[in-house]
Chain A
Amino acid sequence: AQKVTQTQTSISVMEKTTVTMDCVYETQDSSYFLFWYKQTASGEIVFLIRQDSYKKENATVGHYSLNFQKPKSSIGLIITATQIEDSAVYFCAMREDMGYKLTFGTGTSLLVDP
């Protein structure tokens, strides 16, 4: 069975710094997709970035990037030059290649202070 674990409950950083959020996963599949979502204070859940397990290059979108360490079953989210509006809860999720459902971690709350 799939499992996704986010051990950091909350993180607080200063604006314009870099933050890394951790996520480890368990799967029996050799092919899978990993995602990060952001949930804003209003409750909206927004897709941020994805990593396909067969790709060696770390995905990057805007000021979001991933640190994919396949041997460690780890997919960290890196946010550079953080902004106040990055304050939110961040969820890591996984989908197996032949499956349809997402399995989510419990989320990490990020607070960016001015």
Chain B
Amino acid sequence: EAAVTQSPRNKVAVTGGKVTLSCNQTNNHNNMYWYRQDTGHGLRLIHYSYGAGSTEKGDIPDGYKASRPSQENFSLILELATPSQTSVYFCASGDGGLNYAEQFFGPGTRLTVL
């Protein structure tokens, strides 16, 4: 069974609308991350979380909010979506410790903002 799941897998939104992307992990990892992937940029970190109730800004947080209501769930919120936020969004989980330094990714959400 997939340990990191995302919903929806595809989303079409209108400019100015609110979009919420959801992520759930069953790895029991403390840390969760939201990335976006664009051609020529690889994966860039938007927000991350150390645990329930915490959110931290990544490298490109402008225009995005995040919410971590529980160990398992981490949401990415676009309050006022813009066409420049059209991208593929990946959620990941990881433990951050020496033995579990790698992150594990969800299947991605393709977002189109018209």
Contact = CB atoms under 8 A, between A and B. Distances in A.
A103 B102 CA distance: 12
A91 B101 CA distance: 16
A43 interface: yes
Interface in B29-58: 31, 33, 40-45, 48, 50, 58
Interface in A57-114: 91, 93, 95, 100-107
A13 B100 CA distance: 33
Nearest to B2: A44
* In the A-B complex, the 5 residue pairs with the closest CB atoms: A45-B105, A104-B42, A106-B42, A33-B101, A104-B43
A77 to B, nearest CB: 15
A97 B78 CA distance: 31
Select the residue from A35, A46, A101 with max chain B CB neighbours within 10 A: A101
Report the contact-size class of chain B (Cβ under 8 Å from the partner): 20 to 34
Contacts of B44: 104
B104 interface: yes
B88 interface: yes
B90 A45 contact: yes
A101 B58 contact: yes
Contacts of B101: 33, 35, 50, 52, 95
B95 to A, nearest CB: 10
A59 to B, nearest CB: 12
